[in-house]
Chain A
Amino acid sequence: MNCAEFQEVLPDIIESGGNPEEEAHLKSCAVCSDLVQDLRYIADTAKLLLPMRDPSPRVWTGIRGALQREGLVRPLAGTVRFRPQAAAVLSQRRWVRGGSMLAVAALLLFAIGIIWLRNNSTRQPQPAVTARVPAAAPAAAADDDDAQMLNFVQHKSPALLATYRENLESVNAYIRDARRRIEQDPNDMGAHDHLIRAYDEKALLYEMAMARSGE
């Protein structure tokens, strides 16, 4: 089994563990092993959020740290940057759990997508891998999360729904264009950079949505 084949079944491995062949690849490949370790860490950390009314800053710091260690996000600018203000604002509101879950889902999605992308871009000598970008499963998850985010905005600030919808379409178009370019030329590092920035922009949109406190 090579890295490309392994990555195709990665979501299943994260969820339910791999078969002997996949486990063997995991043991022999440091890159895939690191990737799985990171994703499991993020998933485990995310679970901690569910029973809490007010997630500990440690959780956000942990997730952020994992992404930063991977070089997937840039350092924070000020204290409001990463820990969604929603966690503070919403902590006294009855549906904080839904907001936290949505934030976690979004973070997981971005982490998986970006880590996947980064993993692909670091293995450019393997054409079969470099040409591959996050595909069906993450895309479906993205659609679902997008819908949840828009529902969240609609609930909190109906007047801003159109703005968020429009901007979501814009940033998804950015992601699509960057992906398309990478498929055309996997060695175009500028396109890879655009894709990462596009995900950053999408993360910003989710963060801002979470920070809605119009109730």
Chain B
Amino acid sequence: MSALLFLALVAAGGIGAGILGALTGEGGGILLVPVLVLLLHVNLHNAAGASIIAVTMTSTAATVAFLRQGYTNIRVAMFLQLTSIAGGIVGALLAAFVPVQALMIVFGVALLYSAYLSFRRKEEAEVDRPSDPLAIRLGMESSYPTVDGWKLYTVQRVMPGSLLMGVAGIFSGLLGIGAGAANVLVMDQVMKLPYKVSTTTSNFMVGITAAASVGIYFRHGYIDPFLTMAAVIGIFAGALVGARLLMIVRAKLLRLLFSSLVLIMALEMIYKGALSAQPGG
């Protein structure tokens, strides 16, 4: 395949991954990796390197729009980022001593089950409860734009959310997978945030989380300039489109898209588990 044709195909995949990544707050890696590996026959190492940069791009480009629209909750983002990034570092250090393949299956099943719960959640049918006192003390309560104007929301169970994020961070560091899905699930299921606040706040976080692992990929020579360029250009365009779409898409549809992506992710994990694609692995 000539470089030009390859560029066009990767960029097209990037556009799709960028749209879905920005919409679901996952970053786009879940979709980009199988497109590169299964359709374009890129090896897993280079695909992972391109994907980690692509997620950084989705997060940055979409955050510009989400901050302006007023969805992102920066306080929740930073609070969860703390345990998530710390867990990620611990997980990466543990990876050499732990049976990673078995854990992939455990984590995959946990993800699938929580994605199912997330798909079923009906926010509008829930009774309004006051926020966790800690959330009030940390100034996490906020409002977000809806079709009926700005709507206040409460924040539940801050410490359980933070701890769970740490566990998810350890798993993502161990298994070399993105933390976006776990971000959304913790905010949606534990902290009971509105769905669009969860996805956009996750979107803010994934760029920082992904950037933390770029160093190791870069030093191990996983980041191929040409391949990553093609993915990043596509993702950039896709993320801009996705960020604009978020305002008009219904939360129910977002839940469906997100759950479908998590399903793909579980399958990816089994595939990766069989081939062991982590740096140094």
A complexed with B: no
A-to-B contact residues, CB < 8 Å:
none
B-to-A contact residues, CB < 8 Å:
none
